[in-house]
Amino acid sequence: MPVGVVVSLGILGFSSWAFLPLVEHGGLFSALGSTAPSRLYESPPRFDVGQKLSPESLASELDDRGYRFVDKGLSDLLVGEYRREPDHVAVRLRSFPLGSGWTESVIVDARFRRGWLTGLEVSGEEVQSVWLDPRLLTSFYSDQLIDRWRVSVESLPDHVWRAILAAEDATFFTHGGLSARGIARAIWTNVRDGVVDEGGSTLTQQLVKNLYVGPQRALSRKVREAAIAVLLEIRYSKKEILEGYLNTAYMGSSGSVQLVGLGAAARTYFGVPAEELDLAQAAALAGMIKSPANLAPSVDAEGCQRRRDQVLDRLAELGWISRQQQTHAKSQPVTPSGRRLDRFFARFAADAAAVEARDRFGTSRLSEMGATLISTLSYADQEAAESAVAWGVDALEEGWQKANDRPLQAALVSVDPQTGGVRAWVGGRDYRQTQFDRLRKAHRQVGSAFKPVVLAAALAERRVSPADRLIDEPLSVRLGGKTWKPQNDDRTFRGDVSVRESFERSLNVPTVRLALDVGLEAVVHWARHLGVESELDPYPSMALGAFEMTPVELLTVYSTLASRGRRPDVHLLEAVFDADRRPVQGRPVMPPEPVIDEGVAFLVTSILEGVVERGTGAQLRRDGFRDPVAGKSGTTNGRRDSWFVGYAPERVALVWVGYDDASPTRLSGSRGALPIWGRFMQSRRPSSGYSTYLPPSDVRSVTIDPASGGMATGRCPETTVEYYLADQAPTQVCEIHGRQKRRWWRPWSWRQRN
């Protein structure tokens, strides 16, 4: 065989062998499009002029987001920096996503006076509101649990990428992929030690190792690595290779999550984007690449600092930083953020958001598409909700539910009734123990929490007013050859009671009578309007919630009442952006739909406010909760389910407590769910308190005698103010005490004349 053919075949064989990893991975640089997890963010918090807010509070918000306090002039602020004075806070905000798109980085100057936000300037112009960048709630990791944040060389300060080169490959811009000096040193070390240990790798070779050939130490691997490195240098620019390395270098771990790339390391170890790393932080990250498991700042801060100082010395030696910069950076302590990526925060909410992203936006690869999901959630609300649930179940298991070997479960969801945006979502007490989301997937009986639907139906059908009388006496209902006899919770009867008292005290028998009077089909009709989607059979027991539905359905019912009869489209997502920050088109959120008269909703709310004042929710008042809120408890047979749902104009919150296997408990709605609800609502109380519902134009207030329901007279020993729909307001005076007769003579006048 001719020598030329042999040489050609040899070259072909070597090339096939050497470049096989490229074929297996889809070609040159294919892995640089490495998948990244999508991220779920809170709804960006808004600050308004006239809001109660102190400079300390705003500075705390900025600190929580990784902004750096500096002593600089306004125009000198860099992205991620802020300054603070007694009545001023100035900050250069990052670019961040709103529901309408990504914002630009701007300087905001906030002015304060006596704890109030009195003025806002954005880039020198007066505005009434500003948004702050949203906090990250959670990331959607794949089964490999890898965290990545893509960075570009253009977006990084020079000292960041120079620190990497100083630590790993100072001659990067002058070699062709291989370093003769490094190879010679590696050969000498390997021959001396008798093992393949020293690599002599350039940054390009390290990139090849990260992408194609793996970390195993073998001569064949080094040959392949060198060949592919040369090919990369021929095909790609130095900037592209450097950027590829910055995005693929292994940077240690946080808990069980592996960190890949400079972006993930910067956010995890120092709590800032890579673009905002200062010189000391950049040198620390560059230094730990050599041994991320041992030199990470969260693992060995002192070791990290020693290695950082070596990198700073090398930077100064190369002339890439001044001696003054070197000295200042060395004086900085290594202070890791302490953030763990595997913390189970808002995981139930994240799962629900993923389902909504799939259904509304068609996104089904969240673990790899690098999308940005802007939620309606509030970080503070979510934190308060998770804390309230944990506190509540622990307290119940130490008290009423002690000596029970099954874990008690609880769920809490809160929504803005005006928009339908979910503010907090907790589907269970501990996501690590079980990922079953009780808010979406559990179908449980709702008990007396359904009674407001019966009341709304009766008012909408004009069958009663709040002051009308209902009969609370033994009742027998024949159905399917069987007799059903509903009982009140205390097994007693009260005779004649008003509609208001009946629902405030959650009496069962009058509620069933009212449902039968209205018509069970009519109750089903109005339940559908209010938001119930589960199957409803028109049986008398339906009036007492003896059927199953999801907590989200029940939340929708109360949200409709809270929004004055307009049913909101309950949702978790405001917008979704792809990895290139382009909006993902999806089904828009529907505006709240009017489904019941505003006056009817107000009357139901008024009676549910009485539940808190005098009825089954009165424990709130005894616990010091003073704001005007409406609510209703619910308890099912065997006390298997404990509910409380309540609201104010600003928010609706629902709490469920029980066992997953529907075992009986010792808990009523007031004993089990109400304390958790109260703790959450109190923790998220607005600074000025929850608002009050005002009667709409079709509602009249009338002073009546509660015994008769007629307009009160001077002879009535007891009076109260009651609300009515305008066409139902009483026109007759109290028939018990009657109209006071006017005398034709006046004794005092006779005595005066004589």
What's the pLDDT tens digit per position in 399-454?
A: 877 656 789 999 999 999 999 999 999 999 999 999 999 999 999 999 999 999 99
**Burial (Cβ within 10 Å: 0-12, 13-18, ≥19) of residue 192:** exposed
The string of pLDDT tens digits covering residues 21-71 is 554 445 556 555 468 999 999 999 999 999 999 999 999 999 999 999 999
Question: pLDDT at residue 690 above 60?
Answer: yes
Lowest mean per-residue pLDDT among 241-245, 524-528, 566-570: 241-245
Mean pLDDT, rounded, of the chain: 88
- Using DSSP's 3-state secondary structure scheme, residue 699 falls into strand
What pLDDT sits at residue 324? Answer: 96
pLDDT band at 195 (very low <50, low <70, confident <90, very high): very low
Mean pLDDT score, 244-265: 93
Tell me the C-alpha to C-alpha distance, in Å, between residue 566 and each of 211, 530, 578, 697.
Answer: 55, 9, 33, 16
CA distance 274 to 523: 58
| pLDDT tier at 745, thresholds 50, 70, 90 | very low
pLDDT band at 19 (very low <50, low <70, confident <90, very high): very low
Q: What is the pLDDT of residues 94-122, one digit of tens each?
A: 999 998 899 999 999 999 999 999 999 99
Q: At 510, which helix (H) or strand (E)?
A: helix 508-518
pLDDT at position 5, please? 44
pLDDT range class, residue 382, cuts 50, 70, 90:
very high
521 has a pLDDT exceeding 70? yes
CA dihedral (148, 154, 156, 158) in degrees, to 10, reads 140
Tokens of 164: 């990497």
- What is the spatial distance between Cα 123 and Cα 109, in angstroms, rounded to a whole number? 8
Catalytic residues: 168, 448
Give residue 4's pLDDT band: very low, low, confident or very high (50, 70, 90): low
CA dihedral 721, 723, 729, 734 (to 10 degrees): -30
**In 373-444, which residue ranges form alpha helices assigned H by DSSP?**
379-398
User: What residue ranges do the domains of the chain occupy?
Assistant: 1-30+171-236, 44-133, 698-754
Per the DSSP assignment, residues forming a β-bridge with 39 are 139, 372
> pTM above 0.85?
yes
pLDDT band at residue 220 using 50, 70 and 90 as cut-offs: low
Mean pLDDT score, 472-493: 90
Average pLDDT score over residue span 278-296: 94
Residue 365 has pLDDT above 50, yes or no: yes
Whole-angstrom Cα distance, residue 53 to residue 565?
33
Does the pLDDT value for residue 238 go beyond 70?
yes
Q: What pLDDT score does 198 carry?
A: 42
- Specify whether the CB–CB gap between 245 and 210 falls below 8 A: yes
Domain 44-133 has CATH 3.30.2060.10: yes
- Which whole number is the average pLDDT over 319-344? 88
User: What DSSP string describes 633-659?
Assistant: EEE-GGG-EEEEEEEETTEEEEEEEE-
pLDDT of 199 = 46
Q: What pLDDT is attached to residue 182? A: 56
What is the reported pLDDT for 635? Answer: 94
**Per-residue pLDDT averaged across 717-741, rounded?**
86
